[in-house]
Amino acid sequence: MNQLLPFKLGTEVYALELPEIQEVVENPQIHDLPGAPETLAGAIAFHGRIVPVVDLPLLLGFPAGNRFDRLIVLSDRHGPMALWIDQMCPIMTLNLSHETLSQSSSEADCIRGVLNCRGEIISLLDLDQLQAKLEQLCAENGG
Amino acid sequence: MRVEISYKFIVGFIVVVASVVLLNILVPRMQIPEWTHQWITIVGALLVGLILGWIFSKAITANFGILTAGAERLSDGDLSRKVRLRTGLFSDETEDLTNSLNQVFDSLRNLVGQIRNSSLNVNQSSLALAATAEEMTATSHEVAGSIEQISRGAETQAEMVERVSKVVKEIALGIELIASSADKLSTSAEETTMTARQGEQMAITALDNMKQVLGQIEGNGQLTVSFSEQVQKIGTITDVITNIAQKTNLLALNATIEAARAGEYGHGFAVVAEEVSKLADSTSESAGEITRLIENTREQSHKVYQSMLESIKSVDAGREAIDIAGNSFTALIDKAETAQLKAVGITELTQKQLGGAQSIVEAIEAIARVAEDNAASTEEASAATEEQSASMEEMTFASQRLSTLADELLTSVSRFNLGAEQTTSET
Amino acid sequence: MDIAKYREMFLTEAAEHLQNMVSLLVELEAAPEDRNGIAALFREAHSIKGMAATMSYSATAQLAHHLEDQLDNCRSLGQISSTQIDYLLAAVDLLEGLLQDIRQQLPERSVEAFIQGEIPHQGLELLESVSCSEDLDNSNLLIHLRLEETVAAPGPRLLVLLKKLEEFGRLLETIPAEENILQGEISRTLEVRLKTDLSQEQIFTRLQKYSELAEITFPPEQIVEKQRKQQAVTTTVRVGTDLLDHFINLTGELITNRYCLQTAAAERNWSGLNEGLGQLARLVKNLHHQVLQVRMMPLATVTDRLPRTVRDLCRSSGKEVEFVVDGASIELDRAIIEALTDPLTHMVRNAIDHGIEQQGRVRIKAWRERDQVLIQISDNGRGIDPEKIRQRALQCGLLSPVQAENIRDYDLYQLICHPGFSTVEEITETSGRGVGMDVVKTAVERLGGILMIDSVAGEGSRMTMKLPLSVAIVRMLLIESAGSLLGLPITRVLQTLEVSPAEVRTSGKQLVITLQGELLPLLSLRKILRQPKGQVKKLLSLVVTEVLGRKIGLVVDRLVGQQEVFVQGLPAPFDRLRGNNGGAILGDGRIMFLLDLQPLLEKRRKKEA
């Protein structure tokens, strides 16, 4: 059984597996980093470390809107990094192998799988691709 | 050497005699016939006598001639030259005569010179005097003119004084009228004051009644307000509870995440976390219900409060009205008293003014008198000026005559010719 | 997990042993009959063998054993010859290569060939791979080629392409490898790592001629991986037990202090609370100091490697160079030590390559002056010829003729740190590419230090690095720009001042002010960071600093103040961004980013150019 944390980006629902997440932080102060691309909203001070904040909807091409007041801080393996999302949904527990619709991965959207859960389409976020995309963006922008 | 004429004669005679003697002496000595001795002696004596006599008489005649010439000159008026005798060895009375004549010349010259100077001075002075006299005449004319003006002015002044005097009298009358009206005013003000005081009393009584009613209503209002506040407090606490529930939710979420990362070992923990989450949710729900209830209650109490406010408002309005009435009575009383005071003030003022008017009248009369005096004095002055004017003219006339006299004098002395010295003394 | 831990230990210890061996070998070259030296060598090799055997690293153990035999021979002979030393050094290099394999969790490379008597490639190359920052510059290109789908016979075509690419430079790596293609592997894509002097554009133009190529790309370097792995090199540190005792004591005191604070808070005892906080401040400061001590490493960590390099260079160039190190015991922050490795190596190489003609001495001297460390590399060789530099600068267009006349020698020498500048006609393996000195200068400045170059023609050159004692805790000047907090190390700040807008004049297109008789160009920080324009203010806040060799006045919104902060490196993907090379979290929770002006201005210059 796997546990997922789903969240909304625009009208679509994405999700991350719990092991990929370290913590959810509320109302953090996001400090702007001058010279950074727009998709990098800034950085927060998290347990004494500087953690970059990614405007996830913006990065994946969703329209700019009101972001939620909570950030998903990713675990060390993918981090440090925090994701800013539109809306958070309650944790769901399900069996990934059963419910998976397709294992296809879409690079552009950073999706590594799609689920159909009780009628809802949930896309699993691919963090490695996300990171790669970010690095590319920064290299283009800054390099 | 000075030898008087008589001495000269004597000497001459002596000489003749001497010569006769001498001849008498000499001739015999000479080799000439004796008969001629007398003849030589007489001839000699005669010769000597003739010669001497000729010399002497020539000299004297010459001198006398000069003297005569000098005297003639003098009578002609030529004072330019002195008489000068021919220098001779022996000076005699003719010299004295010359000196005296010269002295006459000198004195006459001086005198004429002086007369000339003086007459010139006199001329000048008389001219100056004439000029001054003219000026003075002119000035005195002016003065006369001014005096006339003053005189006229004084007349006008007197007129004006009369007019002012009339006006002041009228003012005085007016003031008396005012004084009487002020009195009337004072009386009516007193009456008004009394009436107003009565009204005020009534207003105060009414106001007290109103206040009582209002107090009661306000008391009710306060109760409602405190009730409302209590409800508000409940609301705040509910918010806190909701907040806590939210935070608990977040905590539960993070706990679940940690549990997931701990893998197998976190399983029990995950269960607990979920229970906590559920608890938080139900707390949230209950808090939500409470909030809704609070909302309802708040609405109700709000309505009650509103009607309270309305009542209060109307009572307030009533109180305001009474206040206004009361205020107006007070204002009225104030005004009446003020009016009274003012009336008294006015009366006093008018008295003062009357007094003042009197003083003015007196002053004006004094002025009038002064003006009259003025007029009289100016007339005198005018007369005096005229006299002065007349005497001025006389003076002018007199100076003119003087001048004329001086001129005549000058003319008469002009006959005298002073020569070179003349010119210098004239300048 | 256990294996990983032991591996780390093994690697650290083995590295130490190898380092000792290298030092011993170099010493033995000067004194070949030192029995004790040889015996020590033997012991080192023995230790390595033992450890490797325990960890079942067979190849390593084998090689170490082989070394033992050799050294045993020498021990009995009582002396060790030059050629033997060469051989042994090569062996040590191979061992280092093996250690690298182990570190990267690759299978150990083969040692058979070596043991059989073949001496592998020159030690220099391997040394390069250990400190491969030089490789990570422009000369190393990653090319990705893709053939058209419809093209026939992809194999031969790829071979042709490979041959072509070989003309451009040296093929370091190809995927698929040449042998594989020959053996029949079919692939339409070819990825090549090429060491070349040509630029991307040049290669692109030349490859474009091949119509069968559908795609020619230069994917960005996966330097991330390499850097990450590089940073994983020294993750362990030795800590003295007395230091640990200190820590234990401090922790005890901290716990006591915590109880005091809790009690005081509960009783609302404010004075007690204040006292407790005061104590806490003292304890934290102490702790901080001690932790920093842990980070300190002696300079010898770096300089001990250098005799080997000097020796190899001498051998290859035939020169005789005496190498002296003074003050190697001086302790510096680890980060600084790590950052110094390459610059020092490079400067020593430069000194030997270009400074010393036939014979000479290279001396490294390190000493401490108040809160700074000075490291000086001096040689008594040719010295730097100012005329040559002047000529070259004029050629490259770095100076106008007027500037060239008036420039002081001191500034002239600084020009050799300009990227691409080199007065050397031939490019040797090791230096002359004109890349090294600017890397050195950048590294020094990145650490918050200054590089000073001094030279007397005919008598030698002297390069002095002035470094702060610690990199982690830096005193920063905090400045504000468009709401963001930025910081500049105080050591880079020459002056701060406020001027009224009336004092600003224009010189050409540049806004300048007159400061101490010089014209100081002004740059707006907002503009550089591409932030929106700010309000016009009555007073302009200026920070005078030196960037790219020039003094500039940076116009900022507000000078916030000075603070000592603990600088962290920025995590990915921030580290790819130019303009910030670190950040710090201030006491009130705000984040301050470290401003790195050089790349920002370079980028701007490129844009303008």
Q: At what angle do helices C82-103 and C123-130 cross, to 10 degrees?
A: 30
In angstroms, the CA B239 to CA B249 distance is 15
The contacts of residue C239 (CB under 8 Å, 6+ apart) are C294
Inter-chain CB proximity B257 and A21 less than 8 Å? yes
- CA dist C420 → B322, C46, C73, C139, C546 (Å): 99, 46, 49, 12, 20
Say whether pLDDT at C255 is over 90.
Answer: yes
Model confidence pTM above 0.80: no
Residue C228: pLDDT band with limits 50, 70, 90: very low
Class of CATH domain A2-142: mainly beta
In angstroms, the CA B69 to CA B75 distance is 10
How close, in Å, is residue A134 to chain C by CA atoms? Answer: 6
pLDDT tens string B14-25 = 887 887 788 777
Helix (H, G, I), strand (E, B) or coil at C569: coil
C571 contacts in A (CB within 8 Å)? 49-52, 79-81
- List b or e across B134-170, with b for residues whose CB sees 16 or more CB atoms inside 10 angstroms: eebbeebeebbeebeebbebbeebbeebeebbeebee
Say whether pLDDT at C222 is over 70.
Answer: no
Please check whether residue A65 touches B, CB under 8 A.
Answer: no
Residue range C473-608 in CATH 2.60.40.10? no
pLDDT tens string C350-400 = 888 877 888 888 899 998 876 678 899 988 888 877 887 788 777 777 777
Inter-chain CB proximity B247 and A5 less than 8 Å? no
Mean pLDDT of B292-309: 80
Mean pLDDT of B331-337: 79
**What residues does each domain of chain B span?**
5-137+410-426, 157-373
Mean pLDDT of B50-60: 79
B253 contacts in A (CB within 8 Å)? 5, 24, 91
Mean pLDDT of B31-56: 77
A vs C, Cβ pairs < 8 A, gives 87
DSSP letter at C586? -
Q: Concatenated DSSP letters for C209-253?
A: T-TTEEEEE-PPPTHHHHHHHHHTTT------HHHHHHHHHHHHH
Inter-chain CB proximity A18 and B260 less than 8 Å? yes
Kindly list the residues of chain B whose beta carbon comes within 8 Å of any beta carbon in chain A: 247, 250, 253-254, 256-257, 260-261, 270
How close, in Å, is residue A143 to chain B by CA atoms? Answer: 36
Top-confidence range, B208-217, B223-232, C476-485, C515-524: C476-485
Residue C2: pLDDT band with limits 50, 70, 90: low
In angstroms, the CA B46 to CA B35 distance is 17
Is the Cα torsion angle C201, C206, C207, C211 positive or negative in sign?
A: positive
Please check whether residue A21 touches B, CB under 8 A.
Answer: yes
Beta bridge partners of B69: none
- List b or e across B221-233, with b for residues whose CB sees 16 or more CB atoms inside 10 angstroms: beebeeebeebee
Say whether pLDDT at C132 is over 60.
Answer: no
> From the list A5, A19, A26, which residue is nearest B261 (CB)?
A19
Question: What fold characterizes domain C134-221?
Answer: Alpha-Beta Plaits (3.30.70)
For chains C and A, having 3+ Cβ pairs within 8 Å is answered yes
Mean pLDDT of B396-421: 75
Largest CA distance in chain B: 230
User: Are residues C513 and C502 in contact, defined by beta-carbon separation less than 8 angstroms?
Assistant: no
- CA dist C538 → B98, C330, C501, C526 (Å): 122, 49, 7, 17
Interface test with A, best of B244, B249, B253, B274 (most A CBs within 10 A): B253
Task: Nearest chain A residue to B251 by CA: give it.
Answer: A24
Neighbours of C348 (CB within 10 A): 23
> From the list B250, B254, B260, which residue is nearest A19 (CB)?
B260
- Is C473 or C228 the better-scoring residue by pLDDT? C473
- Is B329 or B419 the better-scoring residue by pLDDT? B329
User: Are residues A51 and A66 in contact, defined by beta-carbon separation less than 8 angstroms?
Assistant: no
Query: Which chains, if any, share at least 3 CB pairs under 8 A with chain B?
Result: A
> From the list B254, B260, B261, which residue is nearest A24 (CB)?
B254
Mean pLDDT of B310-328: 75
How close, in Å, is residue A25 to chain C by CA atoms? Answer: 15
Per-residue model confidence (pLDDT) at position B419: 64
Please check whether residue A76 touches C, CB under 8 A.
Answer: no
Task: Nearest chain B residue to A1 by CA: give it.
Answer: B260
Amino acid code (one letter) for C395: Q
In angstroms, the CA C39 to CA B414 distance is 171
Interface test with B, best of A20, A26, A69 (most B CBs within 10 A): A26
Task: Nearest chain B residue to A25 by CA: give it.
Answer: B250
- CA dist C531 → C284, C382, C524, C557, C591 (Å): 38, 49, 10, 12, 18
For chains C and B, having 3+ Cβ pairs within 8 Å is answered no
How close, in Å, is residue A78 to chain C by CA atoms? Answer: 10
**What residues does each domain of chain A span?**
2-142
Task: Nearest chain A residue to C573 by CA: give it.
Answer: A135
C589 contacts in A (CB within 8 Å)? 29, 45
10 Å CB burial of residue B29 (0-12, 13-18, 19+) is exposed
Please check whether residue A105 touches C, CB under 8 A.
Answer: no
Per-residue model confidence (pLDDT) at position C31: 80
Helix (H, G, I), strand (E, B) or coil at C568: strand
Helix (H, G, I), strand (E, B) or coil at C408: coil
Is the Cα torsion angle C592, C596, C602, C608 positive or negative in sign?
A: positive
Inter-chain CB proximity A35 and C220 less than 8 Å? no
B250 contacts in A (CB within 8 Å)? 24, 26, 70
Residue range B157-373 in CATH 3.30.2250? no
**3-state per-residue secondary structure call for chain A:** CEEEEEEEECCEEEEEEHHHEEEEEECCCCECCCCCCCCEEEEEEECCEEEEEEEHHHHCCCCCCCCCCEEEEECHHHCCCEEECCEECCCEEECHHHHEEECCCECCCCEEEEEEECCEEEEEECHHHHHHHHHHHHHHHHC
Helix (H, G, I), strand (E, B) or coil at C581: strand
Q: What percent of chain C stands above pLDDT 70?
A: 85
Per-residue model confidence (pLDDT) at position A75: 81
For chains A and B, having 3+ Cβ pairs within 8 Å is answered yes
Inter-chain CB proximity C576 and A135 less than 8 Å? yes
pLDDT tens string C170-198 = 777 777 777 777 766 667 777 777 777 77
Closest listed residue to residue C310, CA positions, set C302, C301, C319, C297: C319
Please check whether residue A50 touches C, CB under 8 A.
Answer: yes
Say whether pLDDT at B163 is over 50.
Answer: yes
Closest listed residue to residue C164, CA positions, set C208, C199, C201: C208
pLDDT tens string C396-426 = 777 777 777 777 777 777 777 776 666 554 4
How close, in Å, is residue C219 to chain A by CA atoms? Answer: 10
Inter-chain CB proximity A29 and C531 less than 8 Å? no
> From the list A35, A43, A45, which residue is nearest C529 (CB)?
A35
How close, in Å, is residue A118 to chain B by CA atoms? Answer: 21
Q: Report the Cα–Cα distance between both ends of chain A, in Å, rounded.
A: 43
pLDDT tens string A61-83 = 887 777 777 888 888 777 688 98
Architecture of domain C2-120: Up-down Bundle (1.20)
Amino acid code (one letter) for C59: A
> From the list A33, A44, A135, which residue is nearest C572 (CB)?
A135
Inter-chain CB proximity C573 and A138 less than 8 Å? yes
Inter-chain CB proximity A3 and B260 less than 8 Å? yes
Task: Nearest chain A residue to B248 by CA: give it.
Answer: A26
Closest listed residue to residue C332, CA positions, set C465, C144, C167: C465
- CA dist C414 → A138, C455, C468, C534, C544 (Å): 32, 11, 20, 36, 19
Closest listed residue to residue C345, CA positions, set C89, C548, C130, C170: C130
- Is B23 or A45 the better-scoring residue by pLDDT? A45
C530 contacts in A (CB within 8 Å)? 34-35
In angstroms, the CA C294 to CA C288 distance is 10
Say whether pLDDT at B70 is over 50.
Answer: yes
Inter-chain CB proximity B257 and A26 less than 8 Å? no
Interface test with C, best of A33, A59, A138 (most C CBs within 10 A): A33
Mean pLDDT of B331-338: 79
Question: What fold characterizes domain C300-468?
Answer: Heat Shock Protein 90 (3.30.565)
Neighbours of C141 (CB within 10 A): 20
Task: Nearest chain C residue to A31 by CA: give it.
Answer: C591
**What residues does each domain of chain C span?**
2-120, 134-221, 245-298, 300-468, 473-608
Query: Which chains, if any, share at least 3 CB pairs under 8 A with chain A?
Result: B, C
C593 contacts in A (CB within 8 Å)? 31, 33-34, 43
Structure tokens belonging to residue C363: 């001396």
Q: Concatenated DSSP letters for B135-179?
A: HHHHHHHHHHHHHHHHHHHHHHHHHHHHHHHHHHHHHHHHHHHHH
